[in-house]
């Protein structure tokens, strides 16, 4: 197996009949999936998603792939193919289209409907091309065939990419539910046909490569949801992802079967299910839906609410219900169903919501105590099927953290892919497919681009480091006014501190020390602001460390009057 090395440098030119593959996101992380393919000087992009920040990135709203690698070559981009409409595959499209609005956006019907709705909110009118499984389309040098895959959102696609360099199969996110709700199976027959033709490189979803066995069918969740709804004493509140059409369908069916009305709560839930219903992906029986204002007029045992907030997002309806900070008041006898996965990093927030809801007397049903969620990603057992059917010459695990990529590589090895033909890359690592052999040839920048409020890319690692220090320790600012001509202090020292956990009265001692430091400095003829700043910083820093064993940010401000 080839491992990337930190010392990788910029790659040399691509061989004439070679295909270059540059993952700008999604390798070494779960999220912001984006891969750039290059052949004959032209580019094709598959997916363009966002990553959600962790606590290490405080205050950040979203993380985008770094477009720097293609910024000067946007005119070379033939198209962006979106495999499905999850945020980690489409969320960065608005930011890419800001740089060139007419890049053709290619996807299935539901995918295009959802990205178009999102782009409308960004006031962008995209150029789109609707494709579906079984079709082939040519984008410049790139000949693409689309294959059905099933996932936790309808209408997902895999892409078989043919160029003179060879045949690449990129699965996108997928699982292999053999009894899917919409009957749309992952096209293993197609995978087998491509395998027979000869796949030069397989790029396959690694998310669940560490999970042994097989994913339970989505269909097995229906009866559990039905039973929860049937046996609930009062209201039922279901929280799930705003894009999980099949899960919502099962909730609607359970409500209908038990004489309950359904109300959708949350902007993205209402928007997405509106789109899904309009396109026929969601079947809504007449008279089933009610508006939120009508709920209070219905007896609690006739109500099902479907809401976002399954990840414990603090501002979501569900979190606010848990805090009694929402017009829907949880009471003894209510049932809350968390019909979704728990995305790593959200454990604490979700636990807080469960405790809050329980405190008010709700019964909380979640994947820890009932079969109310199955993953959208194929497990190891299923990944082996794909590897055996496609028999790739080269293999590159995608969509996953290191642990997942490595586990997937092991599976490939077990199925007989030669160790040397397995490429574990990470974001920015450049892989060339030349003469039937995939190998790492260098690396390009692929850092995090942070979105915070309206700004994109202006928050730097330095800002985040400052935030982490401020968030852990607070700051102490010392303001002094200096008459630079007379060389003496004319105002202050004044202390302004926040988050340092030191009472104002306790600063008297250090104010006196700073004053003494400045007197000494004046005597020594030191008037340079930078030097004075240093002296103040040192005096205050030592005082805090000695007396409190803490290291707040120290911000000396010497104002010349």
**DSSP H helix total and E strand total for the chain:** 15, 25
Instruction: Give the shortest CB-141-to-a copy of itself separation in angstroms.
Output: 34
Contact 27, 425 (CB under 8 A): yes
Q: Which is nearer to a copy of itself, 71 or 359 (CB)?
A: 359
Residues pairing with 263 in the sheet: 305
490 binds a copy of itself (CB under 8 A): yes
Extended strands (E) in 221-288: 236-239, 261-265
Give CA–CA dist 445/440, Å, rounded: 15
Nearer to a copy of itself, 40 or 58 (CB): 58
Task: Considering only the stretches 193-201, 221-229, 302-310, 359-367, report the one whose residues sit in contact with a copy of itself under the rule CB under 8 A.
Answer: 359-367
Q: Cα(103)–Cα(209) distance, rounded to whole angstroms?
A: 33
Report the nearest approach of a copy of itself to the CB of residue 156 (Å). Answer: 26
Window contacting a copy of itself (CB under 8 A); options: 101-109, 160-168, 428-436, 464-472: 464-472
d(CA 95, CA 59): 19
Supply the residues annotated as catalytic. 205, 377
Per-residue tokens: 431 = 């892989």
Q: Are strands 455-456 and 261-265 parallel, antiparallel or unpaired?
A: unpaired
Q: Examine residue 499 and tell whether it contacts a copy of itself (CB under 8 A).
A: yes
Among 76, 143, 210, 253, indicate the residue that binds a copy of itself (CB under 8 A). 210
Residue 151 labelled as part of a binding site: yes
By CB under 8 A, tell whether 401 contacts a copy of itself: yes
Confirm or reject binding of residue 402 to a copy of itself (CB under 8 A).
yes
Q: C-alpha 154: how far from its chain's center?
A: 19
Nearer to a copy of itself, 53 or 166 (CB): 53
Asked if residue 381 binds a copy of itself (CB under 8 A), the reply is no
- # residues contacting a copy of itself (CB under 8 A): 68
244 is in an annotated binding site: yes
Q: Does 458 help bind a copy of itself (rule: CB under 8 A)?
A: yes
Q: Residue 215 has what DSSP assignment? A: P
Contact call for residue 477 and a copy of itself (CB under 8 A): yes
Specify the DSSP class assigned to residue 368. T
Q: Distance between CA 13 and CA 11 in Å, rounded? A: 7
Least gap, CB of 55 to a copy of itself (angstroms): 5
Contact 223, 365 (CB under 8 A): no
Q: Is residue 452 marked as binding?
A: yes
Residue closest to 480 by CA, chosen among 468, 495, 498, 461 = 495
Identity of the residue, 10 or 348, whose beta carbon is nearer to a copy of itself in the bound complex: 348
173 labeled binding residue: yes
Q: Contact with a copy of itself (CB under 8 A): which of 10, 12, 41, 59? A: 59
**Residue linked to tokens 């390009």:** 444
Residue 301 binding a copy of itself, by CB under 8 A:
no
Please say which residue, 128 or 548, places its beta carbon nearer to a copy of itself: 548
Task: Give min distance, CB of 124 to a copy of itself, in A.
Answer: 18
The answer to the question of residue 199 lying near a copy of itself (CB under 8 A) is no
Q: Which stretch binds a copy of itself (CB under 8 A): 122-130, 221-229, 411-419, 553-561?
A: 553-561
Does 519 participate in binding a copy of itself (rule CB under 8 A)? Answer: no
Angle between helices 267-278 and 109-121 (to 10 degrees): 140
Q: Compute the least distance from the CB of residue 105 to a copy of itself, in Å.
A: 26
Cβ proximity to a copy of itself, 100 vs 267, nearer residue: 267
- Given 161, 181, 328, 354, the residue binding a copy of itself (CB under 8 A): 354
Structure tokens at 320: 């606010």
Assign residue 309 a region (left: φ > 0; alpha: ψ between -120 and 50; beta: otherwise). Answer: left
Number of residues written out for the chain:
561
- What angle is formed at CA 69 by the lines to CA 67 and CA 75, rounded to 5 degrees? 80
Q: Counting contacts by CB under 8 A, is residue 263 touching a copy of itself?
A: no
- The answer to whether the CB of 24 falls within 8 A of the CB of 430 is no
From the list 351, 516, 531, 534, which residue makes contact with a copy of itself (rule: CB under 8 A)?
A: 351
Given strand 455-456, what is the order of strands in its sheet?
A: 62-64, 449-452, 455-456
CA atoms within 13 A on the CB side of 548: 16
3-state class of 237 per DSSP?
strand
Residue 408 annotated in ligand binding: no
Determine if residue 376 is labeled as part of a ligand binding site. yes
Contact 533, 455 (CB under 8 A): no
Q: Which stretch binds a copy of itself (CB under 8 A): 87-95, 149-157, 162-170, 445-453?
A: 445-453
Residue 242 marked in a binding site: yes
Q: Is 498 in the site for a copy of itself (CB under 8 A)?
A: yes
| Angstrom distance (rounded) from CA 327 to CA 319 | 12
Cα separation, 425 vs 429, whole angstroms: 6
Nearer to a copy of itself, 100 or 465 (CB): 465
CB of 447: closest distance to a copy of itself in angstroms?
Answer: 15
Q: Which residues have a Cβ under 8 Å from the Cβ of 25 and sit 6 or more positions away?
A: 31, 32, 33, 34, 49, 51, 65, 427, 446
Q: Extract the runs of DSSP E, i.e. beta strands, from 140-220.
A: 142-149, 156-163, 166-170, 201-205
> Considering the rule CB under 8 A, would residue 13 count as an interface residue with a copy of itself?
no
374 known member of a binding site: yes
Exactly one of 198, 361, 445, 487 binds a copy of itself (CB under 8 A); that residue is 361
Q: Do residues 163 and 143 make contact, with C-beta atoms less than 8 angstroms apart?
A: yes
Cβ proximity to a copy of itself: between 207 and 272 the closer is 207
Tokens of 430: 């450049």
What residue numbers does the annotated binding site cover? 59, 61, 84, 86, 88-89, 151, 173, 242-244, 373-377, 399, 452
What residue numbers does the annotated binding site for Ca(2+) cover? 59, 61, 452
The residues that touch a copy of itself, with contacts defined as CB under 8 A, are: 3, 28, 54-55, 58-59, 210, 344-345, 347-348, 351, 354-356, 358-359, 361, 364, 368-369, 401-403, 406, 450, 452-455, 458-460, 463-464, 466-468, 470-475, 477, 479, 481, 490-492, 494, 496, 498-503, 547-550, 553, 555, 557, 559-561
């Amino acid at each position: 197996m080839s491992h990337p090395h930190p010392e990788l440098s910029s790659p040399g030119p691509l061989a004439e009949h070679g295909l270059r593959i540059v993952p700008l996101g999604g390798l070494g992380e779960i999220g912001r999936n984006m891969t750039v393919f290059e052949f004959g000087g032209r580019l094709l992009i598959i997916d363009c998603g966002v990553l959600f920040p962790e606590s290490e990135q405080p205050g950040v709203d979203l993380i985008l792939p770094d477009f720097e690698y293609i910024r000067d070559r946007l005119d070379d981009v033939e198209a962006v193919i979106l495999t499905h409409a999850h945020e980690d595959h489409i969320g960065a499209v608005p930011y890419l289209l800001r740089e060139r609005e007419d890049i053709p956006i290619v996807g299935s019907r539901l995918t295009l409907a959802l990205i178009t709705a999102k782009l409308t909110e960004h006031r962008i009118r995209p150029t789109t091309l609707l494709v579906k499984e079984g079709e082939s389309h040519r984008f410049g040098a790139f000949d693409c065939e689309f294959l059905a895959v099933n996932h936790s959102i309808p209408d997902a696609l895999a892409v078989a990419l043919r160029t003179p360099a060879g045949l690449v199969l990129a699965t996108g996110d997928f699982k292999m539910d053999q009894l899917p709700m919409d009957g749309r199976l992952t096209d293993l027959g197609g995978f087998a046909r491509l395998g027979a033709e000869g796949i030069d490189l397989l790029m396959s979803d690694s998310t669940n490569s560490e999970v042994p066995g097989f994913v339970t069918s989505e269909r097995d969740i229906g009866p559990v949801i039905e039973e929860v709804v049937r046996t609930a004493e009062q209201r039922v509140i279901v929280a799930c992802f705003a894009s999980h059409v099949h899960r919502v369908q099962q909730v609607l069916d359970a409500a209908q079967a038990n004489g309950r009305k359904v109300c959708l709560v949350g902007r993205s839930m209402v928007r997405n299910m509106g789109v899904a219903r309009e396109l026929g992906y969601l079947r809504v029986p007449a008279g089933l839906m009610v508006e939120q204002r009508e709920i209070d007029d219905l007896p609690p045992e006739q109500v099902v609410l479907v809401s976002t907030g399954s990840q414990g997002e603090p501002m979501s309806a569900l979190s606010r219900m848990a805090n009694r900070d929402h017009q829907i008041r949880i009471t003894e006898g209510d049932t809350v169903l968390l019909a979704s996965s728990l995305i790593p990093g959200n454990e604490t927030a979700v636990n807080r919501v469960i405790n809050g809801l329980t405190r008010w007397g709700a019964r909380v049903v979640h994947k820890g105590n009932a079969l109310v969620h199955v993953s959208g990603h194929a497990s190891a057992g299923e990944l082996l099927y794909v590897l055996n059917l496609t028999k790739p010459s080269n293999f590159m695990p995608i969509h996953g953290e290191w642990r997942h990529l490595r586990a997937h590589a092991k599976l490939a090895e077990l199925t007989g892919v030669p160790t040397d033909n397995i490429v574990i890359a990470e974001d920015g690592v450049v892989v060339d497919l030349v003469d039937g052999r995939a190998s790492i040839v260098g690396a390009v920048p692929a850092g995090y681009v942070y979105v915070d409020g309206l700004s994109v890319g202006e928050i730097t690692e330095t800002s985040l480091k400052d935030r982490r220090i401020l968030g852990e320790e607070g700051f102490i600012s010392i303001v002094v006014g200096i008459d630079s001509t007379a060389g003496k202090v004319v105002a202050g020292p004044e202390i302004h501190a926040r988050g340092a956990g030191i009472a104002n009265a306790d600063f008297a001692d250090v104010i006196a020390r700073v004053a003494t430091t400045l007197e000494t400095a004046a005597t020594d003829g030191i008037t340079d602001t930078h030097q004075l700043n240093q002296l103040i910083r040192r005096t205050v820093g030592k005082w805090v460390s000695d007396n409190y064993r803490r290291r707040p940010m120290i911000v000396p401000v010497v104002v010349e009057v």
